[in-house]
Structure 1
Amino acid sequence: MEGMNLLFVLSLLCKAACVWFALVAVAGLVCRARQGFRPRYSPAAPRTRFAVLAAGRNEEAVISGFVRSILAQDYPRELFDVYVLPNNCTDDTAGTARAAGAIVLDCPGAHSKGEALHSGLARLRNMDYDAFCVFDADNQADPAFLARMNDAFCAGARVAKGRIAAQNPRAGWVAGCYGLYFRLFDLFFNEPRGALGLSAKLVGTGFAVHKEVLDRLGGWNTVTIAEDAEFSAQCAELGYPVAWVPGAVTRDVEPVSFRVSLVQRRRWIGGVLQAGQARGGCLARALVQRRRAVTLDSCLFFLTPLTGAVGTLLGVTGTALALARGHLPLWAPLAAAMLGWLGCALGALVLRLFLPRAERPGLGSVLGFGLFMACWAPLGVLGVLCPPRRWVPVDHTAHLTVRRGRRLRRERAA
């Protein structure tokens, strides 16, 4: 009986979370349309002094590209510095980064990105910087990244997240699906929240945090494998929304292997669940004390791995029982799957229109998008039942050719 009661409560949470996210998406998009889809933050004179950081483990092959993209920013050079935080390296990440123009901060004893950020920011937080930008070592930032972040901070933002784009959308159908997924998530999650003053999703790259926030938190202090999600929960506890700054674009090299994609996304789900477990009590107390919408939204976000897994299990169980009892013909779930695939393919075609031409994936990604999205359900169940407990680097190599429309370069990303 207790198990049935728990299942009932979890199913109610599934419905409540779905209703909340749907209402936020609709209300936010309506609000955004009324704003005329103008940039939320007006251009401001450069005055924010940035420290730009990238933690790296064996990133010799890609770190110089990241450093060059920061040094090429359309922002006064005297207002930013770029730092690389090598940790557990067996290659020459540090030497390559230094040769490219970065300042190298060694992080002895650091075994994860969160620990490297803790070490690096402990040294930088008391220096003459107003804000800190965090990237992954395989990223490249658009030239306007720092300028757009400056606009947000000058307008009062204290934590800001830029748009992520696939750097290699035509390297394979999997890499292209990442680009489509990012745009889908931006359209129905980040854009509405930006319009309503709620938090955009703070993923582990392409974001910036003001010194004020780190001072209130006592530095960067995360302990889970999802340091980004854990940090966003800490911000929500203090009442800081993560501002959405789509003009600040980060280009990320995406996996080209379907297997690697499954491993990576399972880690994402497990990390969000772990961060929710670590910060759930504090978030709940902050919600009761402050009663802020940004905190409620964060609480429901951290429930999504659990509610998604429960919803998947309930759906599979219900379908299996209906088939076993003859209440549902076998062709019905097969037809539903085909319709779902067709809907995803058509949706992917529409999503491509919202992407700049250089970011548009090929036809294989459009056809494979249904499979890519369908995998979230079993990965969610696996992430809840067998969550990863430690961060494991994932290597993936993108081979792109630049010749008559093909790119010629080889990049490795972790």
Structure 2
Amino acid sequence: MREKNERQFAQERKFAHASENFVATHDAAENFAASNVSSEKFAAENLSRFAVVICAHDEENVIGNLLENLQAQNYPAEKFHVFVLADHCSDGTVAKAKRFGRVTVWERTGGERSGKGAVLNWGMDRILKKQREFDCVLFFDADNQIRPDFLLHMNEAFAQGAEIVTGRRLTENPFDSVISQWYTLYWAVVNSLYNSPRENLGLSAMLSGTGFAFRMELLRDSGWKTYSLSEDIEFTFLENLKGHRIAYLGAATFYDEQPVRLSVMWTQLRRWCTGDFQIAFRYFGDWMKAFLKNPSWRLWDIFMGVGMTVFFGLTAVSYLAHGGLLIWQGQFPLLAASTLLSYTATIAVGFVAAANSGWPVKKLLPGILTFPVFYSLFSYISLQSLFFPQKKWVRIEHKSSRMHF
């Protein structure tokens, strides 16, 4: 039975745009076995009603794929509705979204286009007025693609008492460039070495901007309001301060297009780092009060997750200072040894994360061998963002990369 599932999984997971076959192993095969369910299994249960929210700015090339995936969900059609928040769109995004049934398009044309956070603040005010119609809110980016069982798995998690759930993020275009390979490895680290262990320990996972859902009742009193460039991390942080941890659901798989150029990667990482600094500075006092009142490993860990950006910047300063000191002292062998050790350790992390996530290690070898470069750049971008924060959200263009399920 397991061999049959693996063969079926291999046939489904083809990247049409790259003519590359990604045959997942290990936990990916297990996730497919767990996902082989049907809506009949839940017929007698109380199914959650989902408001599916998609933010879009000029996403005509990709939004159709996600909407088709949602139409093909193994979940009762009357139990979810899609809301597309079209932000200052000048292409055919609105027209394409309106072609699909069970889709409501809200167009935002007033004011300045200032990023996803502002769009969500605007759109969630409308969504929250429909609290009697929905139980949960589910977020996607327009370039995402999802498996037919995504909503079923999310419903299972909420039926078991979860309050906030994030799925497993995989890369749509893992082999397009070394940059996309770095992102593939980065998300593999987040999935298998960050979120999954925390789920097993009862700590909180970290949201990553898309592919997550929460009970609408959580916002009944406070509403949705974020201020930083990293609205996902900010929401994670604020909900943990309220005592609501994020559950990680590896079986709920979704796919996300990643940058392929260094310039785009640099811009995106600057936004992430700037947002993390904004959160750390704005909410440190609130976190301290909550931690002193009710100290817990979960609260400590969630702040360390946000504070990692600060540590990245300090790592860059420390390495330059330490390297300069060793050069001044003529300790070239020690400098070479310490550099080689850290480089090798990072390569090992990339290798383990790729293997645990079922990615073909040989195809990702260029990215694995240069993975330390990614984290080095990340640390310097963090330092740059501390002194020269990114002021505005910069859009990342997406291309169509249709996947077959």
So what's the TM-score if we normalise by structure 2? Answer: 0.82
> SS at the partner of 2:48?
coil
For 2:392, the equivalent position in structure 1 comes to 390
Q: What letter corresponds to residue 277 of structure 2 in structure 1?
A: L
For 1:161, the equivalent position in structure 2 comes to 166
Q: Cα distance, 1:243 vs. partner? A: 0.8
Q: Cα distance, 1:143 vs. partner? A: 1.5
Distance in 2, Cα, partners of 1:306 & 1:236: 20
Pair 1:378 & 2:380 matched: yes
Pair 1:319 & 2:323 matched: yes
Q: Structure 1 residues 204, 341: closer, same or farther in 2, change over 3 A?
A: same
Match of 2:266 among 248, 262, 277: 262
Instruction: Say whether the 8 Å CA contact 1:48–1:130 is kept in structure 2.
Output: yes
Match of 2:125 among 117, 122, 126: 122
What pairs with 1:27-38 in structure 2 (closer than 5 Å)? Answer: none
Pair 1:170 & 2:175 matched: yes
Instruction: Say whether the 8 Å CA contact 2:88–2:107 is kept in structure 1.
Output: no
Q: Structure 1 residues 286, 345: closer, same or farther in 2, change over 3 A?
A: closer
Q: What letter corresponds to residue 257 of structure 1 in structure 2?
A: R
Q: For 1:312-353, what per-residue CA distance to the aligned partner results, in whole angstroms no more than 9, with x for missing partners?
A: 312321221122123x12x44344434544444454344332
Aligned residues: CA RMSD: 2.6
For 1:24, the equivalent position in structure 2 comes to none
For 1:363, the equivalent position in structure 2 comes to 365
Distance in 1, Cα, partners of 2:179 & 2:76: 37
For 1:63, the equivalent position in structure 2 comes to 63
**What stretches of structure 2 of length at least 5 have no aligned partner?**
1-32
Q: Structure 1 residues 273, 132: closer, same or farther in 2, change over 3 A?
A: same
Q: What letter corresponds to residue 381 of structure 2 in structure 1?
A: L
Q: For 1:206-260, what per-residue CA distance to the aligned partner results, in whole angstroms no more than 9, with x for missing partners?
A: 010111111132x211121111111112101211001111111110001111221
Pair 1:215 & 2:220 matched: yes
Match of 1:279 among 269, 283, 290: 283
Pair 1:83 & 2:87 matched: no
Match of 1:139 among 138, 144, 152: 144
Distance in 2, Cα, partners of 1:213 & 1:170: 39
Q: What letter corresponds to residue 194 of structure 2 in structure 1?
A: F
Q: What letter corresponds to residue 66 of structure 1 in structure 2?
A: L
> SS at the partner of 2:391?
coil
Q: Give the count of matched residue pairs.
A: 360
Q: Cα distance, 1:118 vs. partner? A: 2.0
For 1:203, the equivalent position in structure 2 comes to 208
For 2:106, the equivalent position in structure 1 comes to 105
For 1:10, the equivalent position in structure 2 comes to none
Distance in 1, Cα, partners of 2:226 & 2:167: 21
For 2:5, the equivalent position in structure 1 comes to none
> SS at the partner of 1:125?
helix
Q: Cα distance, 1:272 vs. partner? A: 1.1
Instruction: Say whether the 8 Å CA contact 1:132–1:210 is kept in structure 2.
Output: yes
Distance in 1, Cα, partners of 2:227 & 2:270: 19
Q: For 1:39-82, what per-residue CA distance to the aligned partner results, in whole angstroms no more than 9, with x for missing partners?
A: 8xx98646100011111111111111111111211111111111
Distance in 2, Cα, partners of 1:135 & 1:76: 19
Higher relative contact order structure (alpha carbons within 8 Å, sequence separation ≥ 6): 2
Q: What letter corresponds to residue 49 of structure 2 in structure 1?
A: R
User: Identity, % of aligned pairs?
Assistant: 29
Q: For 1:4-40, what per-residue CA distance to the aligned partner results, in whole angstroms no more than 9, with x for missing partners?
A: xxxxxxxxxxxxxxxxxxxxxxxxxxxxxxxxxx98x
Q: Cα distance, 1:355 vs. partner? A: 2.9
> SS at the partner of 2:173?
coil
Instruction: Say whether the 8 Å CA contact 1:138–1:252 is kept in structure 2.
Output: yes
Match of 1:307 among 283, 305, 311: 311
Q: Structure 1 residues 358, 307: closer, same or farther in 2, change over 3 A?
A: closer
Distance in 2, Cα, partners of 1:134 & 1:116: 12
Distance in 1, Cα, partners of 2:354 & 2:276: 28
**What stretches of structure 1 of length at least 5 have no aligned partner?**
1-37, 409-414
Query: Does 371-380 or 346-355 show the bigger shift?
Result: 346-355
Q: For 1:120-157, what per-residue CA distance to the aligned partner results, in whole angstroms no more than 9, with x for missing partners?
A: 22222232100000111111112121111111111111
For 1:32, the equivalent position in structure 2 comes to none
Distance in 2, Cα, partners of 1:59 & 1:67: 12
Q: Structure 1 residues 239, 267: closer, same or farther in 2, change over 3 A?
A: same
So what's the TM-score if we normalise by structure 1? Answer: 0.80
Q: What letter corresponds to residue 367 of structure 1 in structure 2?
A: L
> SS at the partner of 2:220?
helix
